[in-house]
Amino acid sequence: MRGGTMGRQLGTVFADDTVINHLRDVADGRAIGHEDGDSKISFLGTERVSAPVVLVLYQGSVQFVAGVYEENRADDLRWMFQLRRLTRLRRPVEVSRLRVELRTDQQRPFAKQGRLTPKASETVLRILVDENPGLEHVLGALYGIRDIDLPVPRKEALAEERDSLATLCAFTGAPDLAPAGGFLAEDEIGDIHDRDSFLPPMYGVTPREDPMVEHDANTFLGWSRKSNDRLAVRLFEDSYGRTLEIMNVNRWPIETRLGTDLIYYHRQRHSFVLVQYKRLVLDDQRWRCRVDSHFHDQLEVMRALDARCHPQYPGSDYRMVPTPSFVKICRLDSLDVDSTSMISGMCMPREQVARYLDRPESPKYLDQDTFKDHLTSTMFAQLVAVGAVGTVGVATELIKAEIESSLRQQKSVSLGVFSDTTRRRPSWSSASRRRSRSGKASSRQPDSRQAPLW
């Protein structure tokens, strides 16, 4: 099923004291590899759920997630489920937190057994994945998501580029910009094994008369491609006229690249954010990021950039973090080609990471257990969208320099330029119907146009 968490519907069931210990035993057995996580269990409830995946709630929180083989009425009070891959959440999520994110009419399945709407399911899945890194891999297996089989280094590089596109879309706070069918067409997915970038490159294309350009019609925010650069550009536009123009550029073969740098520029705010990816790798049965000399060198490069971007004038726009450099640490061991959702990860300003590593006993690794005070991917995107983080009044010449700097460091670059002349307040849920200027409901559905710029 295409489009990330879109279309992945959830149901809810409620555990009581008679079954909770059995659920824990089954899930724990699967976690240590002794069992497959399949079990037949009855829950209090009188309604059919008819969802491929269910959340198991206990004492006011979501405790487990499982697939459903089948469900049948057990008796007048209970419903029997044949569950598969029952998985215990590392961090249970309180129902009260989920309710805050949902409309009143979407909350009914959290009062009694039932099925969430597709949009409510999308919201709940995002929160669960944010709180439980790695859960997207479980969900992918439960929903039968396409995970392209590629050699590990190639898969990680393409997964990183795909996540950079999803993150750029999330940074806008304009949810209908992300294409519902995914970033790639079926024929583009078919030849992904043979190319060095997630988006297909546009060979021989030189950016000219580009709508992103203000001061020079022959350059891309001041940057011009070299003859050996592989370039891909996409335009996304929603029904309000807000646009996100994305450029992905690679100068190096995928086998020699050292990661992806994400650059986001908000045209009306003259503000930009730089995100550098760091990969969690499986090391001694733990997912963690090694802090080596290259890591420290990259932090120093970002420190120099931050020093050039401090606000120069009093009275300029306020930012909680007025410098551009951030780090995202995440797992990249699966490539869901249909997804437009962000991968869960640990997101932090460069300065926060540097201070953590400057401690007397500087850690050699970063992971979820040792570095708990981080932003989730969603929290970070929301702060960018409302303008709480990012530079103030930065000229495009600086972005040009950063694109070239990243390429010289053997990285790929994903650049997104967002334009919102309406200056609408960011949101994180797609409206099902728009209001026309006359105030009457419009039949036009929110949509995203995806097209190449040239």
pLDDT tier, 23 (very low <50, low <70, confident <90, very high otherwise): very high
Please identify which residue in the block is written with the tokens 């040239």: 454
Q: Examine the fold and report which residue of 143, 170, 190 is the final residue of a domain before the chain moves on.
A: 143
Q: Examine the fold and report which residue of 99, 120, 143 is the final residue of a domain before the chain moves on.
A: 143
pLDDT value, residue 156: 92
51 or 394: whose pLDDT is higher? 51
Q: Are 260 and 130 in a shared domain?
A: no
> Above 80 in pLDDT, residue 283?
yes
Check if the beta carbon of residue 448 is closer than 8 Å to that of residue 238.
yes
Q: What is the CATH number of the domain that holds 93?
A: 3.10.590
Burial profile 65-83: b = 16 or more Cβ within 10 angstroms, e = fewer: bbbbeebeebeeebbebeb
Q: Are 116 and 156 in a shared domain?
A: no
Tokens of 193: 């094994």
Q: Are 139 and 159 in a shared domain?
A: no
Number of domains in the chain: 2
Range of the domain at 307: 152-451
Q: Are 253 and 364 in a shared domain?
A: yes
pLDDT tier, 300 (very low <50, low <70, confident <90, very high otherwise): very high
pLDDT value, residue 438: 29
pLDDT digits (tens, 9 = 90+) for 173-217: 998 898 877 899 888 888 888 888 899 887 544 443 333 333 333
Q: Are 190 and 287 in a shared domain?
A: yes
Best CA proximity match to 273, nearest among 324, 349, 327:
324
Check if the beta carbon of residue 245 is closer than 8 Å to that of residue 453.
yes
Best CA proximity match to 41, nearest among 62, 64, 63, 20:
20
pLDDT value, residue 222: 59
> Above 80 in pLDDT, residue 270?
yes
Tokens of 367: 């992971």
Proportion of the chain above pLDDT 70, given as a percent: 85
pLDDT value, residue 313: 63
- Rg of the chain on CA atoms, in Å: 23
Best CA proximity match to 69, nearest among 81, 78, 79:
81
Helices (H), 224-292: none
Burial profile 426-442: b = 16 or more Cβ within 10 angstroms, e = fewer: bebebeeeeeeeeeeee
pLDDT digits (tens, 9 = 90+) for 54-93: 999 999 999 999 999 999 998 889 999 999 999 999 999 9
- What's the mean per-residue pLDDT of the chain? 83
Q: Are 139 and 158 in a shared domain?
A: no
Q: Examine the fold and report which residue of 143, 163, 189 is the final residue of a domain before the chain moves on.
A: 143
